[in-house]
């Protein structure tokens, strides 16, 4: 049997998804997308999940794009199916109820950049290179790049990156707001896992409610987003964890959250 193309590891509520096709710089073919879909569906159903880390195997690439060899045999129908599959899987990853963090450890191009953009937070190694190089192939982004990159870095910067296909180093990626922070390659995964463990120690319902309010609010007029915040804020007062968190503050002791 061939190796799984998506590795799943879990530790204390933090799941790590590793795209595992290092011989093709982790390029996303249909098999990877189907395995990623399966992994994300399983995580979505796990009430003990607190955070997810996404990274790439092999030390050279996060993901170097959609699989060009597979796409080279496509006509429009197959391309529509492939783009629809990619969109569905990345939307499911984005919609996970907990924070999803990309640990970008090398090339992050095309569909790889689109995968990172489906994550709430993106951190990168000093070796990372970002870009949407599809026009080099006579193509355009097909897994959400025209939409999510424009929302993350602004329409003009996204347009420039897509029209020119130029690669962006990690420090520029921070400057344009694509990446939050850069770490030496050897430290990246450890730093991201530290961050994920920190999030996992907070009130689980509070973190999930925060993600929901941010995500839904971004697609809504401000007044609607603000009304959603009032509702989600108020609902947390029904949880034992909010009582514990506030009581612990008053009693000057650490809070012990039980996801209740
Ligand atoms: N699809 C398929 N195979 C890929 C790939 C991809 N996107 N990217 C790299 N590979 C393969 C290479 O073909 C090579 O395989 P072989 O050893 O069998 O020849 C292997 O990975 C190693 O790659 P290179 O030898 O090219 O490594 P390099 O260090 O010289 O270059 C690179 C690295 C600059 C990332 C280069 O591989 C590259 O330009 N890759 C393609 C990047 C790209 O165009 N991505 C966008 C794809 S289109 C897309 O993603 C559409 C969409 O939005 C849905």
* Domain identity same for 73 and 171: yes
* Domain identity same for 160 and 181: yes
Greatest extent of the chain over all pairs of C-alpha atoms, in Å: 65
Which position has the token pair 């999940």?
A: 49
Cα distance between residue 121 and residue 132, in whole Å: 19
Q: Is 107 in the pocket of ligand 1 (CB under 6 A)?
A: yes
Q: Is 37 in the pocket of ligand 1 (CB under 6 A)?
A: no
Of 200, 219, 235, which one is at a domain's C-terminal end?
A: 200
- The answer to the question of residue 255 being in a domain is no
* Domain identity same for 106 and 157: yes
Pick from 117, 78, 120, 75: nearest CA to 97: 120
Residue 222 has pLDDT above 90, yes or no: yes
Q: For 226-246, how does the pLDDT look when each residue is reduced to its tens digit (9 = 90+)?
A: 999 999 999 999 999 999 999
Structural domain range at position 215: 204-250
* Domain identity same for 33 and 130: yes
* Domain identity same for 241 and 195: no
* Domain identity same for 12 and 127: yes
* Domain identity same for 70 and 192: yes
Cα distance between residue 250 and residue 138, in whole Å: 61
Q: For 34-66, how does the pLDDT look when each residue is reduced to its tens digit (9 = 90+)?
A: 999 999 999 999 999 999 999 999 999 999 999
* Domain identity same for 73 and 191: yes
Average pLDDT, integer, range 83-111:
98
* Domain identity same for 180 and 216: no
Of 183, 200, 217, which one is at a domain's C-terminal end?
A: 200
Cα distance between residue 105 and residue 126, in whole Å: 8
Of 21, 25, 110, the residue with max ligand 1 atoms within 8 A of its CB, to mutate for a pocket test, comes to 25
Q: What percent of the chain is modeled with pLDDT above 90?
A: 97
Domain count, the chain: 2
* Domain identity same for 69 and 139: yes
* Domain identity same for 104 and 134: yes
- The answer to the question of residue 259 being in a domain is no
Cα distance between residue 148 and residue 169, in whole Å: 19
pLDDT of amino acid 137: 98
Cα distance between residue 117 and residue 148, in whole Å: 6
Q: At what angle are helices 222-236 and 204-218 packed, to 10 degrees? A: 170
- The answer to the question of residue 260 being in a domain is no
Residue 207 has pLDDT above 90, yes or no: yes
**Which residue has the least CA distance to atom 8 on ligand 1?**
64
Do 128 and 170 contact (CB within 8 A), yes or no? yes
pLDDT of amino acid 260: 87
Pick from 20, 95, 101: nearest CA to 63: 20
pLDDT of amino acid 1: 66
Q: Is 108 in the pocket of ligand 1 (CB under 6 A)?
A: no
Here the CATH number for the domain that contains residue 27 is: 3.90.226.10
**Which residue has the least CA distance to atom 4 on ligand 1?**
24
Mean pLDDT of the chain: 97
Q: Is 223 in the pocket of ligand 1 (CB under 6 A)?
A: no
**Which residue has the least CA distance to atom 15 on ligand 1?**
24
Compute, in angstroms, the gap from residue 26 CA to the centroid of ligand 1. 9
pTM over 0.95: yes
Q: What amino acid positions are annotated as catalytic residues? A: 114, 134
pLDDT of amino acid 214: 97
Answer with the residue of higher pLDDT: 208 or 259: 208
Answer with the residue of higher pLDDT: 198 or 259: 198
* Domain identity same for 66 and 127: yes
Q: Is 131 in the pocket of ligand 1 (CB under 6 A)?
A: no
- The answer to the question of residue 258 being in a domain is no
């Amino acid at each position: 049997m061939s190796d799984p193309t998506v590795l799943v590891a879990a530790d204390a509520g933090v799941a790590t998804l590793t795209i595992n096709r290092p011989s093709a710089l982790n390029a996303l073919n249909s098999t990877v997308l189907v395995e990623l879909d399966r992994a994300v569906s399983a995580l979505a159903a796990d009430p003990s999940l607190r955070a997810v880390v996404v990274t790439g195997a092999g030390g050279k690439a996060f993901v170097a794009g959609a699989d060009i060899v597979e796409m080279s045999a496509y006509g429009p129908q197959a391309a529509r199916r492939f783009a629809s599959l990619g969109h569905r899987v990345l939307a499911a990853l984005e919609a996970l109820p907990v924070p999803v963090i990309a640990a970008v450890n090398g090339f992050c191009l095309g569909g790889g950049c689109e995968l990172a953009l489906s994550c709430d937070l993106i951190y990168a190694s000093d070796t990372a290179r970002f870009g949407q190089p599809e026009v080099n192939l006579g193509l355009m982004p097909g897994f959400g790049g025209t939409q999510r990159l424009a929302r993350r870095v602004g329409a003009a910067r996204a347009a420039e990156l897509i029209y020119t296909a130029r690669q962006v180093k990690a420090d520029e990626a921070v400057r344009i707001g694509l990446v939050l922070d850069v770490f030496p390659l050897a430290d990246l995964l450890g730093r991201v896992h530290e961050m994920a463990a920190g999030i996992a120690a907070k009130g689980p319902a509070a973190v999930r409610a925060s993600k929901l309010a941010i995500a839904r609010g971004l697609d809504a007029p401000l007044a609607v987003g603000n009304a959603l915040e009032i509702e989600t804020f108020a609902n947390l007062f029904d949880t034992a964890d909010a009582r514990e968190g506030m009581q612990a503050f008053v009693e000057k002791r650490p809070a012990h959250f039980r996801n209740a």
